[in-house]
Amino acid sequence: MRLRCAVLDDFQRVATEVADWSPVHDDVEVVVFDTHIDGEDALAAALADIDVVVTLRERVPFPGSLIARLPRLKLIVASGMRNSVIDYAAAEAHGVTVCGTASSSTPPVELTWALLLGLARGVVEESAGLRAGGPWQATVGADLHGRRLGLLGLGKIGSRVARVGLAFGMQVSAWSQNLTRDRADEVGVDLAPSKEALLAESDFVSVHLALGDRTRGLLGAAELALLKPTAYLVNTSRAAIVDQDALLAALREGRIAGAGVDVFDIEPLPAGHPMRTAPRLLATPHLGYVTRANYATYYGQAVEAVRAYLDGSPVRRLP
């Protein structure tokens, strides 16, 4: 009997297009879900007859309570090699293998600059006005050259964002709790003396930190109040690093020039969520990792993981 494999959140229905699933075709029936399944009860019902789950990023939690309700589940393949919403201990206890895939840091770097440039030059507002017959030139763009870009985090993604900023002629500084001067010098940026100094001195602030106990709520109302009224904030990392209510208040009250956000406290974002209508906000529906090349890696390696599991030699096991 063929196993049933659920591919979750394939909104664009490309999972079977960008990767070759023929290596598992004889053993696995692929079932694509192109809409999000929300809530444990709905997931338990939808996945009741599923043996393998391929899940994107950290959108669908797999707590122990859900895993216990899926007796047929044998394998979870998550995109990327880090996933904080899978209960690994419960998976092991129930005999469920968890594997990951590679993930490129290039797409989120590129999207970060798409958001930052879109904000700085009013691209969405000007394009919408032009198409609607509105005023010719309604905004005055913010310059990048000579301005300060402040980076919270200087890892794989943050360092590549930094190098683009330097290429634009920006002054670039960075801060994180573990960042050293040697690392800052290696990338060619200034080491900010503190988080507060970075926020107060930067014209653009971009978040590139992993979510954890030390970074959750790192930017709250007090921190956002340090930003210049002409400053822009970009977050393509994790929503919980920035207090969402505090950010909404800053945008509504015009205390910052704008924000570019690709990550949200609830995903997909509900229709009536205030982030959908907030002023001074350029928002995208978590597109940071969504490129054809990255999807080819995710789903191609998902096929490899399924094949390896069937052959008794799982690859890229998590955690």
Q: How far is CA 114 from CA 64, 83, 192, 218, 228, in A?
A: 38, 26, 25, 24, 22
3-state secondary structure of 209: coil
The residue annotated as part of the active site, out of 126, 208, 238, 304, is: 238
Q: Are 83 and 303 in contact (CB under 8 A)?
A: no
40 has catalytic annotation: no
The residue annotated as part of the active site, out of 201, 208, 286, 304, is: 286
Distance between CA atoms of 224 and 255, rounded to whole angstroms?
9
Task: Name the amino acid, one letter, at 268.
Answer: P
286 has catalytic annotation: yes
Distance between CA atoms of 246 and 239, rounded to whole angstroms?
12
Q: Are 304 and 315 in contact (CB under 8 A)?
A: yes
Check residue 317 and report its DSSP letter. Answer: B
Check residue 178 and report its DSSP letter. Answer: T
CA angle 263, 267, 272 (to 5 degrees): 100
For the purposes of burial, counting CB atoms within 10 Å of the CB of 256, is it exposed (0-12), middle (13-18) or buried (19 or more)? buried
Check residue 232 and report its DSSP letter. Answer: E
Q: Are 271 and 249 in contact (CB under 8 A)?
A: no
Distance between CA atoms of 171 and 49, rounded to whole angstroms?
55
The residue among 36, 79, 27, 30 whose CA lies nearest residue 300 is 79
108: its two tokens: 């989120």
The residue annotated as part of the active site, out of 183, 255, 267, 280, is: 267
36 has catalytic annotation: no
For the sheet with 3-7, list strands across it.
28-32, 3-7, 52-55, 75-78, 97-99
- Catalytic center residues: 238, 267, 286
